Amino acid sequence: MTSIVGRMLLVFGGMIAAVGVLLLAVGRWLDHGGPVLPGDIAVKRGDFSFYLPLGTCIAVSIVASLLLTLVLYIVGHWRQ
């Protein structure tokens, strides 16, 4: 039981570190507007601006779901 928890902590720690490295690598790019995916809603009228990153949220959700599925698959095989 303890070894499973230790392995899970290592996997989650590695994922957090990978996300941190990714944010450092693309941080400047995201600060200057970043990607605008199809489905993102941007409205600019005079002094009013509104941005809803709907397409970006869907893309991030799909990637996070795939990564979580992969991690759970790997952890499931470690138990056997």
Query: What whole-number percentage of the chain has pLDDT above 70?
Result: 81
The full set of domain ranges for the chain reads: 2-79
CA 80 to chain centre: 29
Average pLDDT of the chain is 81
Mean pLDDT of 8-26: 84
> Is 50 in contact with 72 (CB distance < 8 Å)?
no
- Per the rule left: phi > 0, alpha: psi between -120 and 50, beta: everything else, 39 is left
Enter the pTM of the model.
0.52
Model confidence pLDDT, tens digit, residues 23-44 = 777 766 665 566 667 888 888 8
Model confidence pLDDT, tens digit, residues 57-66 = 888 899 999 9
Alpha helix ranges (H) inside the chain: 2-31, 54-79
